[in-house]
Structure 1
Amino acid sequence: MVDYMTSGAGGFQVVQEELHGAVRELPNQAKVLDDTRQALVARQVPASAFANVDASAQAGAAHARTVEDNARALAASRAELDRIISEMRGTAATVRDWDKAKADQQVAQGADRIQAGGDGSAGDGSAGRPTPAMLNEANRQKVADARDQERQVLDELRQGMSLHHQGSEADRARAIADSEQRIQVYDHLLAGDAKILRFDPAGDGRIVTAVGELNADTRNVAVFMPGADNSMNTYPYQEEMARTFVDRGDAAGGITSVVWMDGSFPPVRDPGSLRPLHLDGLMLTSAEQLGADVRQFVNTELRPMVGADTRVSVIAHSYAGAALGFADRAGLNADAAYYLAVPGIGIPDPANLSNDYGTVRYATVAPNDPVGLFQGGWFHGASPADIPGVVVLDAGRDRENNVVSMWDVHNSMYDPGSESWVNVYNVITNWPDVTATP
């Protein structure tokens, strides 16, 4: 038997991987006990199998008692195992809570040191601010803990004993697929090199990562805000997209990409429902809060990590354009605000879109993008093309200069080498002719 808790000089130490592994495995052993008991009871030898003689009758009675005693022993073992599983789950939950509190404390300690002085060099921690490396270390522990917890949820779902989902078998199958995908995302995060600046697994999940370095020498930072229908489970695609700019920037200008998904990006469609549209994806239910949150991140967290001359661009795709509009109006400390294939800027009057940071606004919508039908309507606010002084850039052609179909164009804005991808890259690096290929 494995010792999941070992004594040490400081008390007891928990071997966490073995502990969480046992919590996942023991329910399988409980099922083995159930199956054995059911097989034992189901295969009792009928009384007619014994001849009508005294010795045979005694043998039959002994056999029945043996089956009954063994079945009772298996039931008792199952009850004891259930008790052990319950206690171990409690222990595992306590360990997770303790680790989470420790990780939160590490981040808080870094934040508390802001008042401690230092020379204030961007991103080096000397001003008491938690550095990207500090945040990454603490949040990776949170991801590992969340993965352990999600594995337990998945095991319970598979065994049909989960309290996390109540519904039809089809609903349960979707919940299993969603849980499996979430675990794959956590594996991806822990195996990758993206710096995890923020992480919260609750609900659809929230995450902010940086691909590349954030320090005083960073030349260009691109903050990417995705559109509707995004959650923790779609994060790997967003990271892959952001890396295409980092890979090109390493060769010609230096780019760090930030994937900002620290909020609710509402669904446009309801999974498993005949209703084709979800109103949250059409209205501004989440956009105003997203705008406030991304503004706070850029102004108070990102800017202190980089140099005074670092160029910061915020690129919002689709639904996120409304969030960017709210942030921009409130005062977003960005050199560039890019409204990429957005249905609107959130606010009704583009003349109110001004701040004290000299932000240059850019806008792109392909001529055949259906999202253009929503621009200027009452759902998402004014069209970005109506912003005073906006630089309107082209989109709609792939890397071979072919026109992208109306069915694909909206989600092709970040296809490497495409017309829109080149324009995004040029805005990030402030290429002298922003419409030219670098």
Structure 2
Amino acid sequence: MTPVTLMALADQNSQDYLSRLIDCLHSCAHLHTEHLQLQVHILSDLYDIADDSFEARQIQHVLKQRQQQQAQCYAQLKQASQDAAVSTQTLREHQAKLDQGLQQALGESSQSPAMRECQHELQQAQNAREPLKRDHLLLSQECTQKLANYVRHPMYRYLRQQGFASTTYRRNALNRFLDEWLAKHCNFSQNLRNEQLLNAMQQHSAAQLAEHDKHIGALEQRFEDLRKALTQQPVQAKQVRRIETLANQVIDHWAQVEPLYLEALRYARCEDEDGQDALRWLKYELKAESLEAALAQWAAIGSPQPERYRRELLALRQRLDIATEQINEALDALRHAEALEFALRTSMSPFACTCGAQSTAPTRCTCHLLLPTGERYAPRPDYASLIDSYMNRALLLGSLINTIKAARLAPATAPEHTVSDTLSPAPQLMQGHP
């Protein structure tokens, strides 16, 4: 499992929830159109507005225009989101190809005598660290326990606080006499030497471990420098430039989605220009405080029509309420998915943000689209199931990211090639309930 295949799962997850939100917006906007048409029909029936009258032609033109522009908006949004998804998939495919090429070059370079010698030294140093660390912990634990006894001894602690036997010790004759008497009774000189020896042993052990870690760090840097020198090729530099170009194209494609999404949201809330014109027409033609009041006046003269219209209005408004709630849930789920996408990108990206965007939006920063090469993650846990648990609110974002980080394989244990290294279409992850 590579960073590219993991990121493809998160990409697909966000795209699936965006598609769900677009469908919810489209459905709600269509219901608003039905609601407007029903109200127009009721007023036309109530006030005998003829179909060929100026008022009727005016509102029918507005509603027809709204329906056409609404359909066009959603078609464009659907297409733009699909184009952005394809662009993202293309980027991931090129990143996977680059990663595979680097892995192949690394496999060939591993036969280099210099690389093999460095890797052997690094492995030996890493193996030698464990007993050093174990001995240091045992020594530190033993010294800490013994040093605590000196702190607890009242006479010894008192003399240490007074600075007895130190260059800063200053007391009058009587106090010096008493201090010397106490020192004899608590064997101060020997205990002081023992305390100093215990502290020196701890410091020496810690210094040894730190020096060994410094040596390991130098070997790791040497190994990385050798790897880069042996794997950098002109064709790979060309691939890197191509990936940077594709990353910019991904940013551009998602930038085209945003204004279309905002327009679709206005249709779903009946805040578009034609929808507002229709509402103004209804308000102008209505000769009562509300449509319900007009229906009540109509029912008072014994007509059966108002009750049927009232039932139709109630049913349609209930569907609108449900559709609005579905939009809120889908929007919340999309934000939840994008939070994962951004957190995963930033945790994997080896690059600090240099594009100047410094944005938390996962689709607006080119730096975070670039992923590390040569890294591998264990085939388990089931990453798709982890994402599903996160989307169902059964797993916190921090816990998910930490689990993925813990699955990262050390370079020495990472397999040269696995089936999952080849980027394939990510599985559908729509099991999550927003």
TM-score by length of 2: 0.29
Task: State the TM-score, normalizing by the size of structure 1.
Answer: 0.29
Structure holding more helix per residue: 2
Higher Cα radius of gyration: 2
* Greater relative contact order (CA < 8 Å, ≥ 6 in sequence): 2
Higher percent of residues as strand: 1
